[in-house]
Amino acid sequence: MLDIKNIHASINGKEVLKGLNLTFRPGEVHAIMGPNGSGKSTLAKVVAGHPEYQVTEGEIEYEVNFRKKDLKAMEAYERAREGIFLAFQYPVEVPGVSNIHLLHSAFNMVCKHQGVEEMSQGEFRKFIEKKCEMLELKPQFLDRSVNEGFSGGEKKKNEILQMAVLNPRVAVLDETDSGLDIDALKIVAGGINRLKNQENCIVLITHYQRLLQYVVPDYVHILSDGKIIKTGDKALALKLEEEGYDWLIKS
């Protein structure tokens, strides 16, 4: 459903992605691993449509209901409404905007765009409180300002809550495991597993193997210097954990 072909992307004139190829199909879980500075977060931002990243070469083809779309031609919000989701490594604070207001507005916007019936405030509250239970978040959490004063764990859980609300087709989770203690990691992983289905594709960008113990990937890709240098299954992640990246990069 998402076909990334020979993507070159730069920020402030510096090329970060240098001919990257990846294909994501429905029902799959992908893990993208790689050393610091290899281009993992850039890939996430390019897929989501960050305006500061320039795609200088290559294609990103997005297929929905047998219709192909050129993702590059769409703005970030259009991609979001079409089912592309990015969970941020560092979720941004939006002071004064309550979490439930953001979630409800976003939900209705996506519903409207996709031709699905919108939800009233009351209905939405019930719907979202169930999702909160899944992530062991108290209902009061919904009335706080978006990410303001949240703990690291709460911020990451909130990203998954937003994912649950937006119900994306392609979800790119950028280092969602970083900064989580083991309990929070298990809860977040549980949430991701619940949201995983045959219609969507989950892309886990991570530096470590530990999240992959709980959310088992079908494919593990190694990104280095802006390119995928190796693809394997979950065993590859384990090998990386033990031996580091050196053996791959040197060879």
> How many whole angstroms separate alpha carbon 208 and alpha carbon 178?
9
- Residue 74, token pair as written in the block: 């769409």
Q: Identify which range of 32-40, 79-87, 198-206, 238-246 contacts another protein by CB under 8 A.
A: 79-87
Among 55, 94, 216, 249, binds another protein (CB under 8 A): 94
| 94 vs 229 by CB, closer to another protein | 94
Rule CB under 8 A: say whether 128 interacts with another protein: no
Q: State the amino acid at position 111 in one-letter form.
A: C
| 57 vs 93 by CB, closer to another protein | 93
Q: Identify which range of 7-15, 97-105, 227-235, 236-244 contacts another protein by CB under 8 A.
A: 97-105
| Residue 163 Cα to chain centre, angstroms | 8
Rule CB under 8 A: say whether 185 interacts with another protein: no
Rule CB under 8 A: say whether 88 interacts with another protein: yes
**Looking only at residues 22 through 41 of this chain, which bind another protein when binding is defined by CB under 8 A?**
none
Q: Please state the closest distance from residue 172 (CB atom) to another protein, in A.
A: 10
Q: Identify which range of 102-110, 117-125, 178-186, 242-250 contacts another protein by CB under 8 A.
A: 102-110
Q: Please state the closest distance from residue 230 (CB atom) to another protein, in A.
A: 29
> 168, 200 in Cβ contact below 8 A?
yes
Among 80, 161, 202, 237, binds another protein (CB under 8 A): 80
Q: Please state the closest distance from residue 197 (CB atom) to another protein, in A.
A: 20
Among 89, 162, 200, 206, binds another protein (CB under 8 A): 162
Q: Which of 119, 8, 110, 115 is nearest to 53 (CA)?
A: 8
> 152, 175 in Cβ contact below 8 A?
no
Q: Identify which range of 4-12, 89-97, 125-133, 233-241 contacts another protein by CB under 8 A.
A: 89-97
> How many whole angstroms separate alpha carbon 164 and alpha carbon 107?
10
Rule CB under 8 A: say whether 134 interacts with another protein: no
The conformational region for residue 122 under phi > 0 = left, psi -120 to 50 = alpha, else beta, is alpha
Mode of pairing for the β-strands spanning 53-64 and 2-11: antiparallel
Q: Which of 141, 54, 60, 134 is nearest to 102 (CA)?
A: 141
For 20, 80, 151, 165, 241, the CA distances from 111, given in Å and listed in that order, are 32, 12, 30, 10, 41
Q: Which residues contribute to the site for another protein (CB under 8 A)?
A: 48-52, 75-77, 79-81, 85-86, 88, 91-97, 102, 105-106, 109-110, 113, 145-146, 162, 166
